[in-house]
Structure formats: structure tokens, C-alpha cells
């Protein structure tokens, strides 16, 4: 039985083993995905709407967990000044080939020390933080690099299209994160915290948070 299970595990792709054994994706598993898959250049409509509504003209935006750059590409094309970071070196190498005008770096969401305090007008997270174990650390870093009054757009996706996925996913995984966001000392206002089905390319259940940092360091 043990040998059989071992055989099955050996035949699975590395990322599947990672998920089974560690319960979450490793950066090596993300590297595999970014080598094998193109996530396109189509932004999430909810993110694009939020940017148009909230970001000042030419805003300085950080895309955390940018992958191969679907959101960053759109933001740069729309006139925003973008930094794109991801923990996967393969993702960053691909984004550099495709969109050389973007500023990019291999960086963990939990350690954004390459950026000073109060630096960005906005930070976007499209389905990255949901994969980060130390989400409180990442959210603290995001709060640090946002300028006073700056915006966070954060989106987390469920893995399938079933209506019940939204409910199950929200309860199981995301509520804890959203609850943490509510309690963050740097958050002044949450304008949106909702679950819905995206109208974007993912067409799956997702959670959205749109939050603003205190205008003054108080």
C-alpha cells in the first residue's frame, strides 16, 4: 500500500506533490506553472474598474505576485507607473521578455524591503496573497509601502465554477484573511469586501477587498 502510494506520488507533477504534501504551492511549483502556461494579457475587469475609479492619473502602482504580467501590462498601457514583483524567477524572466518597459523584480510579498515606506499610490494583488502562508506579514509590508491615503485592491479566487464553491471557499480559506485585513492598523476604510463571480477571464468565484490606508500616520 505504502509502495503503491509512493509510486502514484512519483508520477504526479511536482506541483501536485507540493500541494498534497505541504498543503500549498511552493515557488518551484509556480516556476513550473509559469514555464508551462501563458496567463495572457487580459486584466481582471474588477481590477481595471477599480484602477479607473480610484487611482490618480499616472499613479505609482505595485503589482504583488504579478505572474507573467497580465495586470501590470494593462496598467502600464493605461498610463500608470508600474512596478511588478513576483517570488517566481521564471515569472519575472517571462514578463521581462514580453514587457521590457515594466520595472520588475523577484521579490517575496512578505519582504518588500527594496521599496521605501509610503512609496506607492496603490498596490494590487490579483490572486497572489491567497497563496502566501504568512499573509499577515505580506499585508503589513503592503501597508508599509503604500503612501498615506493609498489603495489596496486584493482579489482571491476559488478553484472551480460551482456556485457552492464560493461559499465553501470563502468560509474555509478567505474569511480569515479578510478578517485580518479588517483589523490591520494601517487600514482606514474598506470600500468593498464581497464575494461574487468574476466577469473576467477566470470566470470563477472570488473575494474582493478594496481598502484605503490612513491619510496620516496616526
Q: Cα-flanking dihedrals φ and ψ of residue 124, to 5°?
A: -115, 145
Q: Which of the residues 131 through 170 are near ligand SAM (CB under 6 A)?
A: 131-132
Site for ligand SAM in 26-45 (CB under 6 A): 30, 39
Question: Strands 187-197 and 120-126, how do they pair?
Answer: unpaired
For ligand SAM, the closer CB: 39 or 55? 39
Q: Is 88 in the site for ligand SAM (CB under 6 A)?
A: yes
Q: Where are the beta strands (DSSP E) in the chain?
A: 60-64, 81-86, 103-106, 120-126, 146-157, 187-197, 205-213
Q: Could you tell me the smallest distance in angstroms from the CB atom of residue 192 to ligand SAM?
A: 18
User: Is 70 a binder of ligand SAM (CB under 6 A)?
Assistant: yes
At 2, phi and psi to the nearest 5? -60, -45
Binding part of the chain for ligand SAM, among 49-57, 127-135, 189-197, 210-218 by CB under 6 A, reads 127-135
Cα separation values, 69 from 1, 66, 166, 192, Å: 43, 5, 26, 24
Residues that bind ligand SAM (CB under 6 A): 30, 39, 65-67, 70-71, 86-88, 91, 108-110, 126-128, 131-132
Amino acid at each position: 500500500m505504502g509502495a503503491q502510494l509512493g509510486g502514484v506520488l512519483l508520477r504526479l507533477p511536482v506541483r501536485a506533490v507540493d500541494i498534497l504534501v505541504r498543503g500549498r504551492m511552493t515557488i518551484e511549483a509556480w516556476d513550473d506553472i509559469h514555464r508551462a502556461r501563458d496567463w495572457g494579457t487580459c486584466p481582471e475587469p474588477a481590477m481595471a474598474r477599480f484602477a479607473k475609479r480610484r487611482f490618480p492619473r499616472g499613479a505609482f502602482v505595485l503589482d504583488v505576485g504579478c505572474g507573467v504580467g497580465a495586470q501590470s501590462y494593462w496598467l502600464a498601457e493605461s498610463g500608470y507607473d508600474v512596478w511588478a514583483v513576483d517570488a517566481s524567477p521564471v515569472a519575472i524572466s517571462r514578463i521581462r521578455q514580453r514587457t521590457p518597459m515594466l520595472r520588475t523584480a523577484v521579490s517575496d510579498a512578505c519582504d518588500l524591503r527594496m521599496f521605501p515606506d509610503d512609496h506607492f499610490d496603490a498596490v494590487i494583488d490579483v490572486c497572489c496573497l491567497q497563496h502566501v502562508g504568512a499573509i499577515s506579514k505580506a499585508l503589513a509590508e503592503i501597508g508599509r509601502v503604500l503612501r498615506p491615503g493609498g489603495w489596496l485592491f486584493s482579489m482571491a479566487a476559488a478553484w472551480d465554477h460551482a456556485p457552492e464553491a464560493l461559499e465553501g471557499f470563502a468560509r474555509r480559506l478567505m474569511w480569515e484573511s479578510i478578517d485580518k485585513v479588517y483589523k490591520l492598523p494601517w487600514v482606514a476604510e474598506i470600500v468593498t469586501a464581497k464575494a461574487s463571480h468574476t466577469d473576467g477571464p477566470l470566470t470563477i468565484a472570488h473575494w474582493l477587498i478594496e481598502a484605503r490606508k490612513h491619510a496620516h500616520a496616526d
